[in-house]
Every structure is written in C-alpha cells, then in structure tokens.
Chains A and B, each alone.
Chain A
Amino acid sequence: MPETHQRFLQPKLLALLGKMELRAATVVEGVMAGLHRSPYRGLSIEFAEYRHYQPGDEPKRIDWKAYARSDRHYIKEFEDEVNLEARIVMDASASMSFGSNGITKWQYTGYMAASLAYLLQSQRDEIGLVVLDEDIRVEFQPKHLRGHLIRLIGAMESVTPSRETRLASVLHRVAAKLRRRGMIIVLSDLLDDPAEVIAALRHLQFGGNDVVVFHLLDPAELRFDFSGPTRFIDPETNAMVPALAEDVKGPYLDALGAFLKTYREELGKTNIAYTLIDTSEPLDRALLAFLSYRMKRK
C-alpha cells in the first residue's frame, strides 16, 4: 500500500476499529449482504428473535418445532443483512487549512474520512465521497469495488483547501442528487450561517438519510490561546482585524459558545448526530467516541 494511504489509514487506528462494528442506526436498502439491519424483517434468512404469536400474524410463520417443544405458539423472525450506502462529505474551504498544533483541520478531516472509508469498506458497504468548498469539487458515487477506496483517498489528497465556503448551498445540491437512502457523514468546521447550514443538513436528512456531522475546530479556535497585540487574518477573505488578545478573549469565547450551542441544540432536535471534534484530540479517540455514540443509538 502506498505511503500516503498508510498515513491516512493509520494502522493503530484501524487495529482498534477492527474490533468494533459499525451499524447504521437506520435500516437501509441494500443489494449486498452486510452487517446492517434490513427493513424487511421476517423475509430474510438470518434468525433474529422469537416472539409470541399475535392475532393477525400469518399462521405459516408459526415455528411448529418450537410449538412441539414448548406447547406455545411462537413466531420466528429473521432479519436480512444488507449493504450501507455511505457518503463522506468533506469541507475543503480555505478555513480548513488552519492548524495550530501541527495538524490542519483539513489533514484531520482526511484522516477521519479515510478511516471511516476503510472501515465501511471492510464491512462491504458502499462508499461515496463529496469534496466541496464553494462548489462540489470532487464527487464519487458509492461503490463497493476493490480499488475504490484507493481512488477516494487519492482524490482527497489531490484537493488543497483554498476557496471560500458556501457550505449550505452546496449541501443543498448534494441532497438534491441523492437517490437512495444511506448515511451521510459531514466533516466540516461549519463556518457558515448556522441557520442555513442546519437547513441544508435537514435537507440531507429529508430522504431518510442518517446524517452524521463532525464539527472540526482547531484548539486555537476553541480556546483562543493568543496573547498581546495581534492582527487576526481570515484565511478565506484575507480580512484583518487588529486586537489585543487578552481583551477580546472573553467576548470571542462567548460568541463561539453561542455558535456551537446553536448547532448542538438545533441538530439535536432533528435527530442529526452532531459531534464537536477538537483537532488536538487524538484521532482514534474522537472516532471511537462517535462510534460508541452510534452503537448506543442502535
């Protein structure tokens, strides 16, 4: 495997993920068998559970062997394991190129996306990729083919964050293209109008998709560990604001807290999984925290 792929996949992280199971919270349609629960329960081949017979159940579904053993009527239920269609949406706006602790938000996003893609592929799920900034720059439809993962990772590497964000409008366009239900994993710093972004995320969720949002922020953005007179520069607009860091820290953190609270509360109301990621935290910890959260939802 090429070195760049190793860098993205991080063997330590993959070793950890190999012991976990990623299960979609929502039952999706699939054409390939997998670990995901099928919505067509009762017609598949894998036993799920017994339940008492209820009036209205078809008599042919009664397990007569169980009746012979227990003298009670049980219905034997099965569930079908189908493949998940997952799309990873990566924000490649210029703000993602910022990093204060040796790793940029874009690099961190790449690690996360590659890890998720690898995991999903190992479960024989179909993986797609959308890289966007002010437009859709890269798009791969979900597939489960050998070599697809490598192409996705190559596409991630080919992108350099440099443009402005129009996250909400581009997400609307992504939502409009969806034809099948699946999982949409959004990796972004969400630095756009929160109301518009939330509306776009709900649009993604509209077709019954399971939307997962990773909100990535740098520790410098979260804690504002600056001091002295500083000229702050916006990487997207190149606007400059001089400020005395000590004096503006309090108001800044208040405004940022309100921004994060808006996402947390509004997305929580819409059943969209939202996780704030500090890019100074270990990648595996952030990813496993999310997976644990998803397993609880199951």
Chain B
Amino acid sequence: MLAFINPMYLLAGTAVLAPVLLHLLLRNRPQRKILPTMRFLPGTSQQSVAMHRLKNILLLILRAAAVLLIALAFSRPYFERRQIVPAQDEAGEAVVFAIDASMSMRANDRWRVAVDRAMTLNRALAADSRRGVVVFDRAPQVACGDTDDALAVETALKQAAPGYGSTDLAAGVRAAADLAATMNAKTRNVYVISDFQRAGFKQITGSIDIPEGISLTPMPIAEEEHSANVAIAACAEKPESLPGHRLVRVQVAAFNTDKADGTVTLESGNKSLESRAIHVGAGDRVVEDFDLPLSLDAQCVVTARVDIKDALPDDNALTVVLPARVTLPLLVCTPTDVVAMGGPEASRTALPGANPYLKAVVAAFGATVRPTWLAPAQVGTLPAREYRAAIANAPESFPAKAIESLKAFVRDGGVLVVFPGDGDPSVLQDLAGVRTDGWESSIDRDQFQLVTYVASDSALTSLDESGATVLGFPKAFRYLKVVEQTPDPAGSGAMHAIARLDNSLPFVVERKMGQGTVYLFTAPLAPKDSDLVLRAGFTPFLYHLLDRGVDLIRPKTSYIVGDTLVDATDGAVLAGPDGREFDAELLRRPLASPGAYTLRQAANERVFAVRTDPEESDLTPLDSQRIAAMGRTASIDAQTLVASAADVARNDSDPDANQQVWWYLMAAALACLGAETMVASRTSR
C-alpha cells in the first residue's frame, strides 16, 4: 500500500490544474481566415491539423504528469509492507507492538505516526489473533498484555505517550519478545516501531537475543530528512570559580541544523541572569562561559535555555544544581626528608625536600582543599576514611606497608592520583593495576610527545566536555610505556586511558579499584620529564580528578530522566519541577520529567536536578543495515527475520529506499519535461 511521509505535499498536486487551465485559456483556437488563393493549399492540411491537436493533447498530458510526479515525489511516497500484516484468514497469529516512547519520539509528529501505524496493523489482524503492547524508553512497560481484544490494544495505544526518557531499545525488544513468548499462537511477531535513533543502539553491541520462534520486524518511522535540532548539551560549573564569581560553562549542540541564530539565557529562581546571542551551524557545539554573581558557598539552581526553534524543544532547557563549595580533605604522600604532619596549619608549612611542583599545585588549590602532607613511612597512621582523595608522588620508593595502606584507601572508595618516580615500576602495577614496559625518553626536547586529547569515554568528559582543552596540550619528554593489555586485576574495573600522547600511548589512565579509583600519570611530576606542571590547565584538571572524591561526600545533585532516587527514606516528600508532591510509592519510581526537584526528609531539604539524556537530543536515525541486523542471530527464524527486516528497512521507512522512490518519480518528471520540450519544439516549428 502506498503511504506518504509528507502527505501535505500531495496538495501541491492540485497545481496540475495550472497547465490544464493554461491549456484551455491559451490554446490556439482555429482562426477563420479568408484566403482567395486557398486553392494552393496542400491536400494534407487537414491531417496536419489533426496531428497538431494530438500534439497539444500530448503536451497537456506531459505537463500535467510532470506536475503530478513532482508533487508525488515531494510527498515522499513509500510502499508499506502489507505482506507483513497477516491475512484475515490466518488465525493463530500473535503480535506485540513494541513502541518507542523515548523523548526523541516527541520530535515532529513521530509519536502520532507510530501510533497510527500500530493501529493500522492492529486493525488488519485476524479477529482471533493474540496481541499486546509494550511501551519502552529506558525501561519497558507492558501497556497491554496478552489479549485478543483489538479495542483494548487501541485504548492502550491511545493512552500511551512519549516521555522524556532515554532509549534502551534492547530492553524494549526483549520485553516485547517475552510478552510474545507467553502468547499461545502458531506464529509470534514483534513489531518494533521506533525512530531508531543512533543513541538507542549504543548499548547494543551485537544482536538482541530473543526467544525462539519469535520474528522481529523493525518499523522505522523517522522522517527521511533528519530533523534539525538544537539542545543544551551541558551546563556545568568551571573549577576556576571564585567567591562571588561562579563560572558556568554552557554548551549548545546543533544536530542537522543549518545556520541559526538565537539566544542562550541563564536563569536562576525565575530570574534571568544573563543572555547571550549565539550562532550555530550544522554539527556545531557552541561553548559559552558565564560569570555569574552567585555565592560560592551557597547551592544554586540554574537553568540554561536556548530559544532556537527546532524539532524537539524539550531539550532546549537544562536545569542544573551548582553545589556549594566543599573543602576537600586531601592526603599528599611524597618522598621528603623533612615532613610536617598534622592538620591544615601544619600542612601549609614549608616542606623542605618535597617536590616543589607538587607543593605549588596543592597551594594553588587554595581553600578548596585541606591538604595533609605525609611522608611515605607514615602513610596509614592517619585514618584514611576521613579523606576521600590522595596524591602519591613517586610511590616506587614507598614502603610496602604504605602501598598496602593506599590500596586499602582506594578500595574503601578513595580517589588516588599517582605520579611515577624513578624506582621500580612494578609497584605501579601493584598499586594501580597498570603494567609498564620501561621508560620512553627523548633527550632532544624537540622530539617530545604531545598530549593530544582526553579520551571521550572517560567519566571526566562529563566534567568538561570541551575535551582536549582540559590539559592545554602539555609535552612529555620521559614517560612510562603503559601496556594496555594488562589483565584487569581481580576486584577492579577496566583500565581507561583518559589522556593520550600523540603516539597513542596512554598519558593518564584510570582504573576502578574496589569502590575507589586510581589515576596514574605516566610522566613524573617534573619539568625535565614533562611540562605538565607548567601548564595552566594542570591544576584544574588535577582538581577534577580529586573532586570525584568530593562527590562521594557530597549528595548527588544531578540525575538523568529514568534514574531512581536511592537515598530517599520512608516519609520523605519529593516536590517535582511543577511543585507537585509525590507520595512515598512514587518516590521509588524512575524520575520522569526534567527540572529541579526538592527532596524533604526529616529536617533536611536538598535540591537536585533531573536532566534529559543528552544522547536523546541527537535525532539522527541508525543506518538501515544496522536496523535490519537487529535480530540477525535471533533464534531459528533468523533467516526470515533478516529478510523481513531488510525488506521493511528497504520498503517501509529506510531513507535510502524512500530516496529511491523519490528519485524515480523525479526522473519520471524530468523525462516528462524533456518529452514536453521535444514535442513543444516540434509543434512550434
């Protein structure tokens, strides 16, 4: 059956009246002319008139056909796979509609198209068919269980609505397949109706395993043209904030958006703090830094808003909570001859023999940290539980007991930053779970390696998504060659390189150990080995690493839609962004809407922000091959499934397939126009 992506363009088909009217109004009516010398006219003149009339009719047909074909092409027709709909006489079919209800489905009229398509399929099913509906975003939900009541399915479809959640396509498909597996029928089909945006596939590395005997039919409903979209991708406080000057960085991302102008506004408490004009282009990420006159010691709720009209306006505002400053208790362990121990006052005294660059960096932290300097032999004498972050400089020279203490510190949840010294690198493997392959050095300083970027898969990117600018491109002259294939030690997470040299060797690696994290720099903390310490970005970068320890003692202030509150106690009251209060039961449910929430429990009240998944803002659909490959290894029906999915992808909503139909129609229209030109030129002659 023929369907249209842009049916409104069919109205342009009425333009076919234009050539018809022009033909009727401007046609050459035969003139009556007296001609005494008529006897000299050839006998074939009447034939020429008949031929001329035929040519005129042919011209009219060609012009009308060209107009109709162009209108049809712009309406983007495609052939719906009627064959995937069971015939009326095929009883015993079970069908589950898995409908994507993530935020991206709010774009344009995707949701309406999805529901319409599901309803069309539902009505075409045989009366005894079993049916069900699963609505999914990040978490699937059965909207209508096993039933043969088509009306119940329609009701469920009408009641469903897209939310603000992110997409977990695999979870939705599995839930639908599980529901289909419970249905008593000869054949079981799951129709996945989704925009199939790329973000929904990120968690799918291979195939989606579904029970045997269930065929999977992807039904993409995204527009052929990628919808233009602008979103507030990030809004975070910069570490350089000073009292009375909170520096906030806002990032505006543009997806498939042509050049557009707009305004970014920062608001707090329904009051506009600052507005700034921006200009975005396709694929741009516009970064704007705001210096807000807000107290560093008080928590602030800030909303960043962009006013560019787009397909998905729900992500054009982002609310974040800027937490009050928390002084970070920091352990600094470094080899030294004279060590002053004790509290903050003692730690700020001179430490002869300690690494002067480390001293300078720690001093640059200022009031944001409360450092405690320890000699290696004394590590462990202080209760590590009181500290959440530590720096170990040259731990190769540390006694084994100190190493064990630091390992215990990390396992208990501490954040440890390690700078190598000149000793045995095997200590680093023990401490950070990182194996090294000796030193790589360059005597000639012109042969340095440049630290080129911060790995995008690092958790640090969420702190500053501008990426490579974090470290300011320092140079490394002597560094440890890290073997990335190091087996992950027991009780540890995978190793990530969060910064690399331009020869692709890791410069900063991250390893989860127990509940804590170890960050290992591969270059010693000295200018002769790298100019890291001379870089202005080094101090904030190091603080970013240590600040993760602060997060451990600071209540969580940021959630993503779909997250569940973990620290809500019985009797707590949660007020949503619109002021509505949730009861105790709803407190256990996923957070459904973006905005600022207030949680009141006991005598405490805290504010946190819920934001939409930034991945959802990118409406770009997956390529058709990946859609078709969704269930390639899914059970015994894989062969049918792949073919079916490929057909659907090709015929139903695959942009390429649609493009082909479009092109065929345009080519036909051009052919008509070409033929019209030829016939018209012959006629005029």
A-to-B contact residues, CB < 8 Å: 94-96, 98, 189, 191, 217-218, 220-221, 226, 228-236, 239, 241-244, 246-248, 251-252, 255-256, 259
The A-contacting residues of B in range 22-51, CB under 8 angstroms, are 28-42, 44-46, 48-49, 51
Least CB distance, B522 to chain A, in whole angstroms? 88
Partner of B41, one of A218, A220, A228, A248: A248
A231 & B40 in contact (Cβ 8 Å cutoff)? no
B30 & A229 in contact (Cβ 8 Å cutoff)? yes
A220 & B45 in contact (Cβ 8 Å cutoff)? no
A231 & B33 in contact (Cβ 8 Å cutoff)? yes
Partner of B28, one of A217, A220, A229: A229
B37 & A256 in contact (Cβ 8 Å cutoff)? yes
Q: Can you give 9 A-B contacts (C-beta < 8 A)?
A: A228-B31, A232-B34, A234-B36, A235-B36, A243-B41, A244-B45, A244-B48, A251-B41, A252-B40
**Closest B residue by C-beta to A98:** B36
Q: Is B158 in contact with chain A by the CB < 8 A criterion?
A: no
Least CB distance, B268 to chain A, in whole angstroms? 77
Q: Is B52 in contact with chain A by the CB < 8 A criterion?
A: yes
**Closest B residue by C-beta to A218:** B36
CB < 8 Å A-B pair total: 98
A231 & B45 in contact (Cβ 8 Å cutoff)? no
Which residues on A sit within 8 Å (CB–CB) of B35?
Answer: 98, 220-221, 232-234
Least CB distance, B473 to chain A, in whole angstroms? 77
Instruction: Please report the C-alpha to C-alpha distance between residue A218 and residue B38 in the assembled complex, in whole angstroms.
Output: 13
B38 & A231 in contact (Cβ 8 Å cutoff)? no
B38 & A247 in contact (Cβ 8 Å cutoff)? no
Least CB distance, A123 to chain B, in whole angstroms? 34
B49 & A229 in contact (Cβ 8 Å cutoff)? yes
Q: Is B685 in contact with chain A by the CB < 8 A criterion?
A: yes
Instruction: Please report the C-alpha to C-alpha distance between residue A256 and residue B40 in the assembled complex, in whole angstroms.
Output: 6
Which residues on B sit within 8 Å (CB–CB) of A94?
Answer: 36
Which residues on B sit within 8 Å (CB–CB) of A229?
Answer: 28-31, 49, 52-53
Partner of B38, one of A96, A228, A239: A239
Least CB distance, A240 to chain B, in whole angstroms? 8
Which residues on A sit within 8 Å (CB–CB) of B39?
Answer: 191, 234
Which residues on A sit within 8 Å (CB–CB) of B684?
Answer: 246
On whether A230 and B30 interact (CB within 8 A), knowing A247-B45, A252-B42, the answer reads yes
Which residues on A sit within 8 Å (CB–CB) of B685?
Answer: 246
Instruction: Please report the C-alpha to C-alpha distance between residue A259 and residue B36 in the assembled complex, in whole angstroms.
Output: 14
List the 7 shortest-distance A-B pairs measured between CB atoms, nearest first: A243-B45, A95-B36, A247-B48, A255-B40, A251-B42, A228-B28, A244-B48
B30 & A248 in contact (Cβ 8 Å cutoff)? no
The digit string for B43-68, where 1 denotes a CB below 8 A from any CB of A, is 01110110111000000000000000
Least CB distance, A268 to chain B, in whole angstroms? 22
B40 & A259 in contact (Cβ 8 Å cutoff)? yes
Partner of A244, one of B32, B34, B37, B49: B49
Which residues on B sit within 8 Å (CB–CB) of A241?
Answer: 38, 41, 45-46
On whether A244 and B41 interact (CB within 8 A), knowing A230-B31, A231-B33, A233-B32, the answer reads no
Least CB distance, B6 to chain A, in whole angstroms? 41
Which residues on A sit within 8 Å (CB–CB) of B38?
Answer: 232-234, 239, 241
**Closest B residue by C-beta to A235:** B34
Which residues on A sit within 8 Å (CB–CB) of B32?
Answer: 230-231, 233
Max count, chain A CB within 10 A of own CB: residue among B31, B34, B36, B48: B36
**Closest A residue by C-beta to B684:** A246
Max count, chain B CB within 10 A of own CB: residue among A98, A234, A244, A248: A244
On whether A221 and B33 interact (CB within 8 A), knowing A241-B45, A243-B45, A247-B52, the answer reads no
Least CB distance, B313 to chain A, in whole angstroms? 59
Instruction: Please report the C-alpha to C-alpha distance between residue A191 and residue B32 in the assembled complex, in whole angstroms.
Output: 21
Least CB distance, B668 to chain A, in whole angstroms? 30
Least CB distance, A138 to chain B, in whole angstroms? 21
On whether A231 and B30 interact (CB within 8 A), knowing A191-B36, A191-B39, A255-B40, the answer reads yes
**Closest B residue by C-beta to A240:** B32
Least CB distance, B446 to chain A, in whole angstroms? 83
A226 & B33 in contact (Cβ 8 Å cutoff)? yes
Instruction: Please report the C-alpha to C-alpha distance between residue A226 and residue B32 in the assembled complex, in whole angstroms.
Output: 11
